[in-house]
Amino acid sequence: MVLGALPLVLPLLISPRYRGKLTRSTYECGISPTGTSWVRFGIGFYVFALIFVAFEVDILYLFPIALVYDDYGWRAFAEVGIFLSILTLAVVYAWRKGIFRWAK
Protein backbone atom coordinates (compact mmCIF):
# COMPACT_ATOMS: atom_id res chain seq x y z
CA MET A 1 0.00 0.00 0.00
CA VAL A 2 2.94 2.29 0.70
CA LEU A 3 4.31 1.83 -2.81
CA GLY A 4 0.88 2.61 -4.26
CA ALA A 5 0.32 5.71 -2.13
CA LEU A 6 3.86 7.09 -2.42
CA PRO A 7 3.50 8.40 -6.02
CA LEU A 8 0.27 10.11 -5.01
CA VAL A 9 1.50 11.76 -1.81
CA LEU A 10 5.11 12.58 -2.71
CA PRO A 11 4.28 15.24 -5.35
CA LEU A 12 2.03 17.00 -2.83
CA LEU A 13 4.92 17.24 -0.40
CA ILE A 14 7.73 18.35 -2.75
CA SER A 15 5.91 20.39 -5.41
CA PRO A 16 6.17 24.19 -5.37
CA ARG A 17 3.24 26.01 -3.78
CA TYR A 18 3.36 29.17 -5.92
CA ARG A 19 1.00 29.25 -8.84
CA GLY A 20 1.37 32.10 -11.28
CA LYS A 21 -1.50 34.17 -12.56
CA LEU A 22 -1.35 32.38 -15.93
CA THR A 23 -1.64 28.91 -14.39
CA ARG A 24 -5.40 28.80 -14.84
CA SER A 25 -5.36 30.31 -18.31
CA THR A 26 -6.29 28.27 -21.37
CA TYR A 27 -2.73 27.80 -22.60
CA GLU A 28 0.56 28.10 -20.75
CA CYS A 29 2.74 28.00 -23.85
CA GLY A 30 3.84 31.63 -23.78
CA ILE A 31 1.18 32.89 -26.17
CA SER A 32 -1.51 35.10 -24.69
CA PRO A 33 -4.93 33.55 -25.30
CA THR A 34 -7.56 35.49 -27.20
CA GLY A 35 -11.20 35.03 -26.35
CA THR A 36 -12.69 32.45 -24.08
CA SER A 37 -11.84 28.78 -23.89
CA TRP A 38 -15.51 27.83 -24.12
CA VAL A 39 -15.92 27.76 -27.89
CA ARG A 40 -17.99 25.31 -29.86
CA PHE A 41 -16.14 22.96 -32.14
CA GLY A 42 -17.72 21.65 -35.30
CA ILE A 43 -19.15 18.15 -35.24
CA GLY A 44 -16.70 17.24 -38.00
CA PHE A 45 -13.85 17.07 -35.48
CA TYR A 46 -15.70 14.52 -33.38
CA VAL A 47 -16.85 12.45 -36.35
CA PHE A 48 -13.34 12.41 -37.79
CA ALA A 49 -11.93 11.33 -34.41
CA LEU A 50 -14.49 8.54 -34.09
CA ILE A 51 -13.70 7.28 -37.57
CA PHE A 52 -9.99 7.37 -36.76
CA VAL A 53 -10.51 5.37 -33.55
CA ALA A 54 -12.74 2.86 -35.33
CA PHE A 55 -10.16 2.23 -38.05
CA GLU A 56 -7.33 1.99 -35.53
CA VAL A 57 -9.24 -0.72 -33.68
CA ASP A 58 -9.91 -2.50 -36.97
CA ILE A 59 -6.22 -2.44 -37.84
CA LEU A 60 -5.46 -4.01 -34.47
CA TYR A 61 -7.48 -7.03 -35.58
CA LEU A 62 -4.94 -7.61 -38.35
CA PHE A 63 -2.02 -8.20 -35.98
CA PRO A 64 -3.21 -11.57 -34.62
CA ILE A 65 -3.92 -12.74 -38.15
CA ALA A 66 -0.40 -11.77 -39.20
CA LEU A 67 1.01 -13.89 -36.38
CA VAL A 68 -0.78 -17.08 -37.44
CA TYR A 69 -0.83 -16.36 -41.18
CA ASP A 70 1.44 -19.30 -42.04
CA ASP A 71 -0.74 -21.80 -40.20
CA TYR A 72 -3.91 -21.04 -42.18
CA GLY A 73 -2.53 -20.17 -45.62
CA TRP A 74 -5.10 -19.16 -48.21
CA ARG A 75 -7.96 -19.13 -45.74
CA ALA A 76 -6.31 -16.34 -43.74
CA PHE A 77 -5.54 -14.49 -46.96
CA ALA A 78 -9.19 -14.68 -48.03
CA GLU A 79 -10.46 -13.56 -44.63
CA VAL A 80 -8.07 -10.61 -44.54
CA GLY A 81 -9.16 -9.73 -48.08
CA ILE A 82 -12.81 -9.76 -47.09
CA PHE A 83 -12.08 -7.74 -43.96
CA LEU A 84 -10.10 -5.11 -45.88
CA SER A 85 -12.75 -4.90 -48.61
CA ILE A 86 -15.41 -4.18 -45.96
CA LEU A 87 -13.16 -1.47 -44.51
CA THR A 88 -12.66 -0.05 -48.00
CA LEU A 89 -16.43 0.03 -48.54
CA ALA A 90 -16.82 1.88 -45.24
CA VAL A 91 -14.28 4.50 -46.33
CA VAL A 92 -15.97 4.89 -49.72
CA TYR A 93 -19.34 5.27 -48.01
CA ALA A 94 -18.00 7.92 -45.63
CA TRP A 95 -16.31 9.70 -48.51
CA ARG A 96 -19.50 9.77 -50.58
CA LYS A 97 -21.48 11.07 -47.59
CA GLY A 98 -19.02 13.98 -47.33
CA ILE A 99 -17.67 13.18 -43.89
CA PHE A 100 -14.09 13.88 -44.93
CA ARG A 101 -14.89 17.40 -46.23
CA TRP A 102 -14.18 20.21 -43.76
CA ALA A 103 -16.75 22.99 -43.60
CA LYS A 104 -15.18 26.42 -43.52
Separation of alpha carbons 42 and 47, rounded Å: 9
The answer to whether the pTM exceeds 0.75 is: no
Instruction: Quick: pLDDT tens for 50-103.
Output: 888 888 888 888 888 778 878 888 888 888 889 889 988 988 898 898 877 776
Query: Is the CATH number of domain 41-104 1.20.58.1610?
Result: yes
User: What's the gap between Cα 95 and its chain centre?
Assistant: 20
Going from the C-alpha of 5 to that of each of 14, 15, 16, 50, the distances in angstroms are: 15, 16, 20, 35
Domain spans of the chain, in order of start: 41-104
